[in-house]
Amino acid sequence: MGRRTGIIGGGIVGVALARALSQSGDEVTVLEKESRLAAHQSGHNSGVVHAGLYYAPGSMKALLCAEGRGMIRDYCAEKHLPYREVGKLVVAADETERGALDEIERRAIANGVPGLERIDDTVRIAEIEPHVQGVSAVHSPHTAVVDYTAITEAMAQDVRAADGRIVLGHEVTSIHERGGQVHVRTAASEHAFDRVVVCAGLQSDVVARLVGADASPRILPFRGEYWTLRPQRAGLVRGMIYPVPDPRFPFLGVHFTRGVYDDVHVGPNAVPALAREGYNWLRWSAADIWGSLRWPGAWPLAKQHWRMGVDEISGSLLKPRYFRKARRFIPELRMADLRRTSAAGVRAQAWARGGELLDDFAIDQVGAVTLVRNAPSPAATSSLAIAEHLIREHLR
């Protein structure tokens, strides 16, 4: 029997790591505070298997996305899970966005995005997405959609088949190293491990403080809200239609995605959430709000990006503002085509003391505890590759 490894967090990254370690002989236990797996970021996203268009070449995001997309595709084939290559069209709405689109094309080529096509012909754009308006585009035909909750559950079955344990409803309250072991306590149980890996997403900085790690980066929660297209109007979108993102922000902007089950959702936006798990404006936490306001990076971030914040919040509260962002690419869209949905996700955005929003994956080590401090999109795409990276670089 291999080492006793505890994994805190039952999202797709934590479960993918548990699968890899249990299949290599480790005695693995996953501790998840919710009553189900993939309860937060892993189960509240667009379901996109990213091809690597946006990421800085050579970054961990770029490298692990390139490795992970093939691994996810093969895993879905092995487990007979849905995997649909619906393709992604990134559209420059006007001439001012051509330069930014050039940069996306450059990064995509450097990252080895398969089948990439640059399009400066409106006729060709219409062949791919007949209802789109734009002057130029980049097409990634192999960008796919999946069901990440189903993938996480399938991986959990692999863990159990390899005699690993997944313990739900057990929120970790303390972590201490003593006597060569890592002792982890929940409200209902105590565990002793040889090593622990924290994949806690929205709570990653909270759990990091339990082991005395640096308070930076702090998690700043951003909520992404979705609308859906009425089924009668779903034909306006064949695959995915994305805007050219603003390079100043780690968000991709409001976009259209035909999901793996054929629904078409519009979004997400990016508004500051009032709690780490604040899936609507009514869910708030005084502790989370006060903690963010007291963070040294709060003023620099607000000073630099307040206009973006006002714009995103107004789009959240006022349907016409959200609609105008979406209609920019599909002139035929009508406001009545958008249906409000309760679907929303909260992104665990890592935030440094100076106000910088961290873009790349970030991993810390404190003794026998490995901390995944930042794992934003494309973490789900990269999950199996992140697991291999952690084993290769941090858990040997």
Per-residue pLDDT at 31: 98
> pLDDT tens for residues 203-223?
999 999 999 999 999 999 999
> pLDDT tens for residues 104-157?
999 999 999 999 999 999 999 999 999 999 999 999 999 999 999 999 999 999
Q: What are phi and psi of 336, to 5 degrees?
A: -65, -15
Question: Both 389 and 265 in a single domain?
Answer: no
Per-residue pLDDT at 361: 95
The HSE-up count of residue 393 (CA atoms within 13 Å, CB side) is 14
Q: Is residue 28 over pLDDT 70?
A: yes
Side chain identity at 386, as an amino acid letter?
I
**166 neighbors 11 (Cβ within 8 angstroms):** no
Computed from CA positions of residues 246, 249, 251, 254, in that sequence, does the dihedral angle turn out positive or negative? negative
> pLDDT tens for residues 166-187?
999 999 999 999 999 999 999 8
Per-residue pLDDT at 309: 73
For residue 333, tell me if it sits in a domain. yes
Extract the tokens encoding 189.
Answer: 């149980």
Per-residue pLDDT at 190: 96
Radius of gyration of the chain (CA): 21
For residue 128, tell me if it sits in a domain. yes
The number of folded domains in the chain is 2
Question: Both 237 and 280 in a single domain?
Answer: yes
Per-residue pLDDT at 324: 87
Per-residue pLDDT at 118: 98
For residue 15, tell me if it sits in a domain. yes
Per-residue pLDDT at 313: 77
Question: Both 115 and 227 in a single domain?
Answer: yes
Q: Is residue 158 over pLDDT 80?
A: yes
Closest among 69, 63, 64 to 50, alpha carbons compared = 69
The average pLDDT across 46-73 equals: 96
How far apart CA 255 and CA 246 sit, in angstroms, is 13
For residue 291, tell me if it sits in a domain. yes
Q: Is residue 274 over pLDDT 90?
A: yes
> pLDDT tens for residues 292-337?
989 988 888 888 776 777 777 777 777 888 888 888 889 999 999 9
Per-residue pLDDT at 248: 66
Closest among 48, 53, 86 to 234, alpha carbons compared = 86
Residue where a domain terminates, one of 328, 349, 370: 349
Per-residue pLDDT at 64: 97
Question: Both 109 and 28 in a single domain?
Answer: no
> pLDDT tens for residues 333-374?
999 999 988 779 999 999 999 988 898 999 999 999 999 999
Q: How confident is the model at residue 247 (pLDDT cuts 50, 70, 90)?
A: low
Question: Both 159 and 260 in a single domain?
Answer: no
Rounded to a whole number of angstroms, the distance between the first and last alpha carbons of the chain is 15
Q: What is the CATH number of the domain that holds 22?
A: 3.50.50.60
Per-residue pLDDT at 24: 95
Question: Both 285 and 366 in a single domain?
Answer: no
Q: What is the CATH number of the domain that holds 109?
A: 3.30.9.10
- Percentage, residues of the chain above pLDDT 90: 81
Domain that holds residue 207: 4-48+149-217+358-393
Question: Both 157 and 103 in a single domain?
Answer: no
Per-residue pLDDT at 240: 97
Q: How confident is the model at residue 1 (pLDDT cuts 50, 70, 90)?
A: low
The 3 state secondary structure assigned to the chain is CCCEEEEECCCHHHHHHHHHHHHCCCEEEEEECCCCCCCCHHHCCCCEECCCCCCCCCCHHHHHHHHHHHHHHHHHHHHCCCEECCCEEEEECCHHHHHHHHHHHHHHHHCCCCCCEEECCHHHHHHHCCCCCCCEEEEECCCEEECHHHHHHHHHHHHHHCCCEEEECCCEEEEEEECCEEEEEECCCEEEECEEEECCHHHHHHHHHHCCCCCCCEEEEEEEEEEEECHHHHHHCCCEEEECCCCCCCCCCCEEEECCCCCEEEECCCEECCCCCCCCCCCCCHHHHHHHHHCCCHHHHHHHHHHHHHHHHHHHHCHHHHHHHHHCCCCCCCHHHEEEEEEEEEEEEEECCCCCECCCCEEEEECCEEEEEECCCCHHHHHHHHHHHHHHHCCC
For residue 253, tell me if it sits in a domain. yes
Question: Both 156 and 135 in a single domain?
Answer: no
Least confidently predicted of 148-157, 240-249, 254-263, 325-334: 240-249
For residue 56, tell me if it sits in a domain. no
Question: Both 24 and 166 in a single domain?
Answer: yes
Question: Both 240 and 165 in a single domain?
Answer: no
The average pLDDT across 153-165 equals: 98
For residue 65, tell me if it sits in a domain. no
Per-residue pLDDT at 304: 79
For residue 66, tell me if it sits in a domain. no
Question: Both 109 and 124 in a single domain?
Answer: yes
Q: Is residue 383 over pLDDT 90?
A: yes
Q: How confident is the model at residue 250 (pLDDT cuts 50, 70, 90)?
A: low
Per-residue pLDDT at 249: 64
Question: Both 230 and 343 in a single domain?
Answer: yes
